Amino acid sequence: MNHLLRPMRLLALPGAVAMCLGACALAPTAVAPTPAAATPAPAPSAPAAKPFATFTNAATTVQGGTFDGFDYAEKAGDAGLLAVTPAAGAVRVTGFIGTAKGSTWAGIGLTVQGAPSGAQDLSRYTAVRVSLASASAKTLRVRLVGTDAATLASGCYPVFMQAVTPQLRDYDIPMAAFAPEGHCGSNARTTAATLPAVVAIEVADPTVAAQRRDVDFQVGAISLPR
């Protein structure tokens, strides 16, 4: 008897497995939850900047500062300022630079006072942001101007030569990039010594060519990123 039952037990196992497989096929498949979409990080914003000079068509800036054009040359008559024309957003400066009298250096420029209150401490700012364009030169000189008249007259406050295009656009010039010009020697005023008392920012076209050349450049808004 036991001999006959043993094969029946063995045959029952495949049937049970078949029933389980059928039932399992009908059971719903668990679906893993879809992870929530990651929120993109906000784009970094431009460094906060303090307005130094904002131009309109008025004779002063929005901040109340004045601006004025100038010319200089090794020999009198080799540079001439023609016009300083303010407009909404920028000031246009025109003039000429020549060598008829034998000058080896000359230029046309614009001095922009930051505010009517006099010198400002700019030592906590990281750069000068200035909007520039030139129809006549590939570089313009940007200078930090301090309170000492003799240092200004000798051209020994720190400068940076900024490459420009005919289209008005912003340039960020790090304070660390400003340096006195090579001719200054012991008269040079360092950037660190100038920043605690800046009365103006100067922009000039100092390019002297073999022939007389016209000067035509624009200076737009000036601000100070922290």
pLDDT at res. 179: 97
Q: Which amino acid is at 80?
A: G
Q: Which of 49, 37, 88, 96 is nearest to 72 (CA)?
A: 96
Q: Which CATH superfamily, name and number, covers 49-225?
A: Galactose-binding lectin (2.60.120.430)
Angle at 93 between CA 214 and CA 145, to 5 degrees: 115
Alpha carbons 207 and 79: distance in angstroms, whole number: 11
pLDDT at res. 33: 55
167 contacts 133 by C-beta, under 8 angstroms:
yes
pLDDT at res. 5: 39
Domain edges within the chain: 49-225
Q: Which amino acid is at 47?
A: P
pLDDT at res. 4: 39
pLDDT at res. 116: 80
pLDDT in tens, the chain (226 residues): 444 334 444 434 444 444 444 444 444 445 555 555 455 555 555 567 999 999 999 999 999 999 999 999 999 999 999 999 999 899 999 999 999 999 999 999 999 998 887 899 999 999 999 999 999 999 999 999 999 999 999 999 999 999 999 999 999 999 999 999 999 999 999 999 999 999 999 999 999 999 999 999 999 999 999 9
pLDDT at res. 213: 96
pLDDT at res. 25: 43
155 contacts 108 by C-beta, under 8 angstroms:
no
Alpha carbons 71 and 80: distance in angstroms, whole number: 6
Alpha carbons 93 and 200: distance in angstroms, whole number: 17
The 200-205 sheet, strands edge to edge: 67-73, 106-113, 200-205, 139-145, 159-163
Going by the DSSP 8-state scheme, the letter that residue 28 receives in this structure is P
pLDDT at res. 175: 98
Cα separations in angstroms, 151 against 141, 154, 184:
17, 5, 9
